[in-house]
Structure 1
Amino acid sequence: MKIKRFSGSSTRDVLQQIRMSLGPDAVILSNRDVNGEVEIVAAIDFDEQQCTEAHATPTWPGPLQAVAIPETSVPVVSSVAPTSPLRSELQALRQLVEKRWGHSLSGKPAKDSLTDMGFSVDWAAHLVQQCPEADWEKTLKSTLEDQIGLSSVSLEKGGIFVLLGPTGSGKTTSTAKLAAAQVLRHGPHSVALLTTDTYRIAGVEQLEIYARILGVPLEVIRSPEDLLQALNKHDQRPWIFIDTIGMSPRDPRLGEQLQWLAALGTEAHRFLMIPAGLSGKSLPTVLAPYAGIPLAGAILSKVDETPAFGGVLEWLAQQHLPVAYYSDGQKVPEDLHEAQWENLMRLLRTSSESTAPGSKAQNRSHHGA
């Protein structure tokens, strides 16, 4: 049996160390606080007889404890007698923990975890009222799946794809990511890029660089006539991606541009780019111009910069607008992902756990960082 001691700022951090070092079959032998840190002794190739001998002559302070690390990484401390049939009892304990406490690791009330994720106090309170405290994550996931869902529009068959959204939402980079993915699959002859971003300094130049790297044509659109001519010119290319200008919701040019794109009808699939950091009153104000437009789905951008994006999901639930993709970096095309609720829930948990007592982010805030 290989025994090793691990320490860190939180139980979750230490359990991650154990899983990476010893693997999922490791067991916890002891768990205690030492000078403000969590210290856990774990073992691999666990044997009941060895555990009994170790219990008779312990080589570390504190009572002997042995608990298999659950897949959900729920911190568990047990006083199971080493002479018991440990494997079956630990499995029963693990099932009990999962049923009783769900997957919440922070120890915070469900309502606090939800607000840390970015959801409003009212929305969080309403959700918690619908379920037992232990089942709030399961209820959150099912609620988001039901009220938002995932976009049914696929890029597999080609088409015209338009990226809309406020200034700074990442439309140009996301356009390049979507185009690059199709170039890698089908070659540069299959893709054309269009842009209406003629107002922003270096807006066209940025997409020109991507177009040159990908080996695809770029057309600059300044009028409805330009748009029609460009679409006719590249009608043999299955994938056409249109980058648009981001403007203030009060700018009359935004309404004019949206009318051009609305004229494309069902031939175009429009995706709304939403920065993950949008929240509160700014959400309905900034996104109001797009609320009346037929949209294929939303793309959540900059999730890596602001993981607490519950406010955006709350707005999408109100609009019943499905999620299509999310981006978590600048790499083209790697950092754009098809949305899956398992992954989005994992990202939401990160924002909640970063403010849990004992987390690194929480410790920094206590020191004025």
Structure 2
Amino acid sequence: MKVKKYTASSMPEAMKMIRAELGNDAVILNSKAVQTAGFFGLFRKKSFEVIAAVDPIIPDNQKLQKKEKVKKAPVIPLNEHVDRGTFVKSINTQKSTESNHPELIKEIIELKAMMKEISSDISPYTGPLNDINNLLLNQEIELSIRKEIVSSLLERWYTNSANASYQEVLQWTKQAIVSKISHIDFGGLTYEKKFINVVGPTGVGKTTTLAKIAADCMLKDKKSVAFITTDTYRIAAIDQLKTYAKILGAPIEVCYSLADFLKAKEACMDYDIVLIDTAGRNFRNTKYVEDLHNIIHFSEEMETFLVLSLTSKMADMKDIYEQFSKANVTKFIFTKVDETINYGPMLNLIVKYGVGAAYLTNGQNVPDDIVVATPTLIANTLLGVDES
């Protein structure tokens, strides 16, 4: 293996030098920004040190002879970073199995010596890129999504000569997130469907969220609204919705069976929108979720919103979706935004299932504490960015 260190004014320039001398099969072992000394310590310039390597070209007849004896060294694709511990461990393994190849051992010793010059605590990313990576990590963004986002930032970082500020990189991150989910359907009621069904586990705020949506429809969009509730398990839930309905001047139908539900639908046909409240169920009990189909007649004229609390664990939210997906979930509603500082699960769920969000709620006040969800709002909330 041929190993060489390159110094260039920019990362793209270093790549050109490596390709010119080592070819397209070269791999990057490490890269870092350094400051070159100036005149009497002044006029210092920023440059990049890159360690690259390439396997020597071996004639076919020699390859056949060595095939059974020598295992090929691990290849790290150009522009990707290598974990020092893993890399050295693999080298040590090769050393023990290939001790009868003096030239290979010599190259390994030289490579290990060069690796020792590199600080063991160097992050795969530098400056603002490292800060953004940590931000996404703290927000509990799943690894595959985080790596994809930071990889796109890395390309822009080197294109801009690696001198962008944290705020600039933060905006790049926002753009990357928006771009990743912009093809998914977001937003609140479009009034294309008359019946809006709200489902979810216990304690996520379904009834209060439904009242907020109803108030928004009536006060902002001047639509006529009716309620149907199938939550007959809790008397308090019926009373709560009846109170909201009375305040809004909207009728409410209580259903105990599928026959009741079909009658209620007919009774509400003259209203612009019909909001359906369901009982909070233990999502781990499949029977409770299946009972929805025994009470509610799901059809093409109905949208179903799954309400999830952001104070829940990510693993639980995935399980909840898997259970309620049988109800043909159209969009998410994320509640209790004001009760947590971790918003990554929103992005994880949206990307994993290809399901957008209708609303975010951030308090108990009706009708105020609800906002229509957009890809930009998701990105801003996750990154702590205020502007639209």
TM-score by length of 2: 0.57
1:115 matched to 2:137? The reply is yes
> Residues 275-314 of structure 1 correspond to what in structure 2 (within 5 A)?
275-314=309-348
The aligned residue for residue 171 of structure 1 is 206
From 101, 116, 127, the counterpart of 2:149: 127
The aligned residue for residue 267 of structure 1 is 301
In structure 2, the residue corresponding to 1:326 is in which secondary structure?
Answer: strand
The verdict on how the C-alpha distance between 1:184 and 1:158 changes in structure 2, with shifts beyond 3 A counting, is: farther
The aligned residue for residue 17 of structure 1 is none
The verdict on how the C-alpha distance between 1:297 and 1:336 changes in structure 2, with shifts beyond 3 A counting, is: same
In structure 2, the residue corresponding to 1:270 is in which secondary structure?
Answer: strand
Query: Contact 1:279 / 1:312 at 8 angstroms: preserved in 2?
Result: no
Q: After TM superposition, give the deviation of residue 242 of structure 1 in Å.
A: 0.3
Q: After TM superposition, give the deviation of residue 320 of structure 1 in Å.
A: 0.3
The verdict on how the C-alpha distance between 1:154 and 1:203 changes in structure 2, with shifts beyond 3 A counting, is: closer
Query: Contact 1:166 / 1:287 at 8 angstroms: preserved in 2?
Result: no
Distance 1:203 1:186 in 2: 26
> 1:76-128 deviations in whole A, cap 9, x for unaligned?
xxxxxxxxxxxxxxxxxxxxxxxxxxxxx988522211122231344323432
Task: Pick which of 298-307 and 274-283 moved more.
Answer: 274-283
From 215, 225, 228, the counterpart of 1:191: 225
The verdict on how the C-alpha distance between 1:119 and 1:203 changes in structure 2, with shifts beyond 3 A counting, is: same
Distance 1:131 1:171 in 2: 38
> 1:263-286 deviations in whole A, cap 9, x for unaligned?
331111111112122333222222
The verdict on how the C-alpha distance between 1:344 and 1:315 changes in structure 2, with shifts beyond 3 A counting, is: closer
> Residues 330-369 of structure 1 correspond to what in structure 2 (within 5 A)?
330-350=364-384
Distance 2:173 2:380 in 1: 14
Distance 1:117 1:217 in 2: 42
> 1:34-84 deviations in whole A, cap 9, x for unaligned?
xxxxxxxxxxxxxxxxxxxxxxxxxxxxxxxxxxxxxxxxxxxxxxxxxxx
In structure 1, the residue corresponding to 2:351 is in which secondary structure?
Answer: helix
Query: Contact 1:271 / 1:295 at 8 angstroms: preserved in 2?
Result: yes
The verdict on how the C-alpha distance between 1:299 and 1:285 changes in structure 2, with shifts beyond 3 A counting, is: same
The verdict on how the C-alpha distance between 1:107 and 1:250 changes in structure 2, with shifts beyond 3 A counting, is: closer
Query: Contact 1:276 / 1:307 at 8 angstroms: preserved in 2?
Result: no
Distance 1:158 1:283 in 2: 26
In structure 2, the residue corresponding to 1:265 is in which secondary structure?
Answer: coil
Q: After TM superposition, give the deviation of residue 186 of structure 1 in Å.
A: 6.4
The aligned residue for residue 85 of structure 2 is none
Paired amino acid for 1:141: V
Query: Contact 1:326 / 1:337 at 8 angstroms: preserved in 2?
Result: yes
In structure 1, the residue corresponding to 2:133 is in which secondary structure?
Answer: helix
1:140 matched to 2:140? The reply is no
Query: Contact 1:195 / 1:220 at 8 angstroms: preserved in 2?
Result: yes
From 178, 186, 210, the counterpart of 1:150: 186
Gaps of at least 5 residues in structure 2 are 1-126, 158-168
Paired amino acid for 1:150: F
Query: Contact 2:211 / 2:244 at 8 angstroms: preserved in 1?
Result: yes
Q: How many residues align?
A: 244
Paired amino acid for 1:162: N
The verdict on how the C-alpha distance between 1:217 and 1:332 changes in structure 2, with shifts beyond 3 A counting, is: same
The verdict on how the C-alpha distance between 1:175 and 1:106 changes in structure 2, with shifts beyond 3 A counting, is: farther
From 203, 206, 210, the counterpart of 2:237: 203
Query: Contact 1:194 / 1:243 at 8 angstroms: preserved in 2?
Result: yes
Q: After TM superposition, give the deviation of residue 157 of structure 1 in Å.
A: 5.1
Query: Which has the higher Rg, Structure 1 or Structure 2?
Result: 2
Q: RMSD value over aligned CA atoms?
A: 2.6
In structure 2, the residue corresponding to 1:202 is in which secondary structure?
Answer: helix
Distance 1:106 1:330 in 2: 37
The verdict on how the C-alpha distance between 1:170 and 1:258 changes in structure 2, with shifts beyond 3 A counting, is: farther
Distance 1:303 1:319 in 2: 21
The verdict on how the C-alpha distance between 1:297 and 1:221 changes in structure 2, with shifts beyond 3 A counting, is: same
The aligned residue for residue 257 of structure 1 is 292
Distance 2:268 2:371 in 1: 27
The verdict on how the C-alpha distance between 1:304 and 1:258 changes in structure 2, with shifts beyond 3 A counting, is: farther
What percentage of residue pairs aligned between the two structures are identical? Answer: 28
The verdict on how the C-alpha distance between 1:110 and 1:201 changes in structure 2, with shifts beyond 3 A counting, is: same
The aligned residue for residue 234 of structure 1 is 268
Distance 2:131 2:144 in 1: 15
> Residues 25-40 of structure 1 correspond to what in structure 2 (within 5 A)?
none
